[in-house]
Structure 1
Amino acid sequence: MSEPVRLIKKYPNRRLYDTKTSAYITLGDVKDLVLKFEVFKVLDAKSGEDLTRSILLQIILEEETGGMPMFSSELLSGFIRFYGSAMQGMLGKYLENNMKTFVDFQNKLQDQSRTMYGAGDNTHMQADFWNQFLNFQQPAMQSMMTAYMDQSKKMFQSMQDQLQTQTRTMFTGFQANPGDKVDK
């Protein structure tokens, strides 16, 4: 049986309260929950509004402002341009599917490395292994990622082409003849 969703309440003083541990927590603690794959929900203590996405975006913002950012300004600008467009929902689903594929790929590589180098929970050794592996295999990884991105680009273009074809087909029956008069 799966565990119930962990409830975190956000109070007006901006503090987060973990109802499972009966203690106040920080965004860093919430990040740790994410890293441990814990299922949780953040609710506004007063209104009951779901604030989970907002808290996750805050964590991403903190990560982006400290250290090495993952998203370029160009990429973020592209995201902003998609808001409000007809393709917004499709882009979200596309990114979600690609992220899942990328994580699945990463998990397969990790499983293979465990099989080759032992199954112990040796996190430090794994980090060293991945650093060495990526430094050694960087050109191959870049080539593979380029091929993956090209494939994704082709898939996205194919989806756009299908949408255009479906739209044309749908509106073909609505063509007006130039000689027809329209009632005013």
Structure 2
Amino acid sequence: YGQDPTITHLVDQFDYYILPVFNVDGYAYTWTKDRLWRKTRSKTSVPLCYGADPNRNWDYHWCETYTTMKPSQFKIQDDGSIQAINALAAVHGTQYQHGNIAQTIYVASGSTVDWIYGTANVIFSYGVELRDTGKYGFLLPEDQIIPSGEETLAGLLALLQYIEKQVYA
């Protein structure tokens, strides 16, 4: 901030809510018991069944399959994702897919993205996965952590610039 005019402008232009760790108890569990644990550690009514997936437990069309036409804002959302993946690819050549989550990853209703779009009415609602293409999954090697951050920053900046043009044009 204050050194790069693009970053300074985008920081001043938008409100940001940064949650470094959204799932504190689940995150702590990954350090001591199960590295790939993704749920919370909350108790449930089912013995030996702990937690809920904090990304798939939002009260918006939970446990449904999306069966209607694409949202009317799909093109504007998709154009933003194209801007982001082009910027990502320009950094280290990593190729990302874009499109709705059901087509690019798997059907997963009731997600954070669904709730933000459908309940909070945020048109620009995206889900982003790690750069791996199937070899390492969520266990990226240490030498991929910084490149992943560099290309994510580039993609985020491109997406924010795109959103700014759409919202304030």
User: What is the TM-score with the length of structure 1 in the denominator?
Assistant: 0.27
Which entry has the higher C-alpha Rg, 1 or 2? 1
User: What is the TM-score with the length of structure 2 in the denominator?
Assistant: 0.29
User: Higher helix share goes to which structure?
Assistant: 1
